[in-house]
A and B are shown apart, each in its own frame.
Chain A
Amino acid sequence: MKNHVLRPFIVFLGIVALILIARIFLVPKDFGIGERGYMYGWHRHGNEEEWKNQIIKVKYMGKEYCKDCHADKYGSINKTPHRIIPCEDCHGPAGTPEGIVHYDADKRPKLPIDKSRAQCLRCHYPLPYPTSGRSKIRSIDPDKHNPDIECSSCHNPHNPMGGLR
């Protein structure tokens, strides 16, 4: 009976068959080779759509978005060097993770205003780097320049040098 020697091999094949059958149920139908081939494109195709639309909602809307309702602020800051700063950098994103944008006043409160000295020091802390764009920004020594009050007490961020010097 030459069969008995092959018996373990048959058991092995049976287990392989079970795995292949399990694959039919456990592997998502859209899993396969994408446009980038097997090495770089082996994935579940549906995930691309999930990233585009489901997993994360757009929150930062950009400066032009704020212009419609806040034309005055938009206009005034545009006359100053701070025009390059997008509103949301200091005011936080207009949207929330749930996808609610700022003008749904009943669902979302006013955007916060970060008035801490740390916020202004991001750009205005004195860093002595002549080879970087940093050196073109006017800076103050935070330990000497009115160290215990908010910057916005004297400087309106939308008109930072207005009425001063």
Chain B
Amino acid sequence: MISRRKFLKNTALGIAGGALSLAAFEIIDPKKLMALEAADGKKIRWVFLVDTYKCVGCGMCVKACKLENEIPYDASVTRTWVERYVLTKDGKVHADTPKGARDGFTTSKIDLGVSEEAAPKDILAKPEENGVHTYEDINPADIDKAFFVPKLCNQCENPPCVQVCPVGATYQAPDGVVLVDRTWCIGCGYCIMGCPYGVRFFHPVYHTAEKCNFCYHRITKPDPQNPKTFMKTACVQACPFGARQIGNIKDPNDPVTKIIMTERVGVLKEEYGTKPQVFYIGLDKEVR
């Protein structure tokens, strides 16, 4: 005959044990799916198309992105940027991206950054004097080919940055865009180190991880001027030359989808297995 004390003790332990194990399982319950099931019913997967033949390096996209997405204009970091490549006859590659091409490319000299010799001995005392940039003149007669390559977050299908976030602050939305929860990010920087494309940075004001999110606040709304379609990202809209385009790969009638499916396009750093979703027309082998 079990004593009352023992019975009560065992019941209490049983309930506590059961509750705790259920609480533990909450962390790994696969059925706790979000009630998201394509909120607007349409299947969407955002992709981006860059035409490097059309890009002239004006940098309007970078300026528009900074102003639209409130990245401090004077900060060195940017959600998108444009790179310039000048390939000379001796086989050398000269590349630069002054301030991410925020002000365009208004010199033909290649920005070589700061050499360690030119850096002031104590850059911390006077950061505004962080070395003098050296520049390289290129003789136009030596140029084999030269072009501009806009870069932005590839919203990869297998995003390595999401994989390495220790707390679930960055994630991929069902439509493919990778977002960062500013209220949850602890600022460890692992996602920044994990991105092979260098698109992530710490926001200078919010101090959380930040990156291009395809202007998520725009593309998820209909375009007021053309409600049958979605609003374009700031950089796509700002580009006068149509070098940047955004589309939905799941919509066979989307002009971007048609180009990706029928023309020769390339992606960046395919060897990392990230499955990037920004496609490039005219991607040269020398592009980093």
A118 near B216: Cβ-Cβ < 8 Å: no
Which stretch of B2-10, B113-121, B230-238, B249-257 is in the interface?
B230-238
A128 in contact (CB, < 8 A):
yes
Which stretch of B67-75, B123-131, B186-194, B264-272 is in the interface?
B67-75
A20 in contact (CB, < 8 A):
yes
A56 near B217: Cβ-Cβ < 8 Å: yes
* Chain A window 83-99, contacts with chain B (Cβ cutoff 8 Å), 1 for yes, 0 for no: 01110110011000100
**Tally of contacts, chain A with chain B, CB under 8 A:** 196
Contacts of B159 in A (CB 8 A): 40
Contacts of B27 in A (CB 8 A): 23
B91 in contact (CB, < 8 A):
no
Task: Tell me the complex Cα distance, A21–B58, Å.
Answer: 56
A74 in contact (CB, < 8 A):
no
Select one of B55, B173, B220, B221 contacting A133, CB under 8 A: B55
Task: Tell me the complex Cα distance, A91–B148, Å.
Answer: 24
Q: Which of A14-56 contact B (CB under 8 A)?
A: 16-17, 20-21, 23-24, 30-36, 38-45, 47-48, 51-53, 55-56
**What count of chain A residues pass the 8 Å CB interface test?**
60
Contacts of A51 in B (CB 8 A): 179, 213, 216-217
Which bucket holds chain B's interface residue count?
35 or more
Select one of A34, A93, A129 contacting B34, CB under 8 A: A34
Q: Which of B166-186 contact A (CB under 8 A)?
A: 168-174, 179, 181-184
Task: Tell me the complex Cα distance, A144–B240, Å.
Answer: 27
A20 near B24: Cβ-Cβ < 8 Å: yes
Residue of A nearest to B56 (CB): A134
Task: Tell me the complex Cα distance, A34–B108, Å.
Answer: 48
A56 near B69: Cβ-Cβ < 8 Å: yes
Residue of A nearest to B233 (CB): A60
Given A35-B33, A56-B69, A121-B106, is A89 in contact with B56 using a C-beta cutoff of 8 Å?
no
B54 near A89: Cβ-Cβ < 8 Å: no
Contacts of B237 in A (CB 8 A): 60, 62, 86, 88
- Contacts A34-B171, A48-B173, A127-B105 aside, 17 further interface pairs with beta carbons under 8 A come to A34-B172, A35-B37, A39-B163, A40-B159, A42-B165, A44-B168, A44-B183, A47-B184, A48-B36, A56-B70, A58-B231, A59-B68, A62-B225, A125-B105, A129-B145, A131-B145, A134-B148
11 A-B pairs in the complex with CB atoms less than 8 angstroms apart: A35-B174, A41-B34, A43-B168, A44-B184, A47-B171, A51-B179, A51-B217, A55-B182, A93-B67, A133-B56, A133-B241
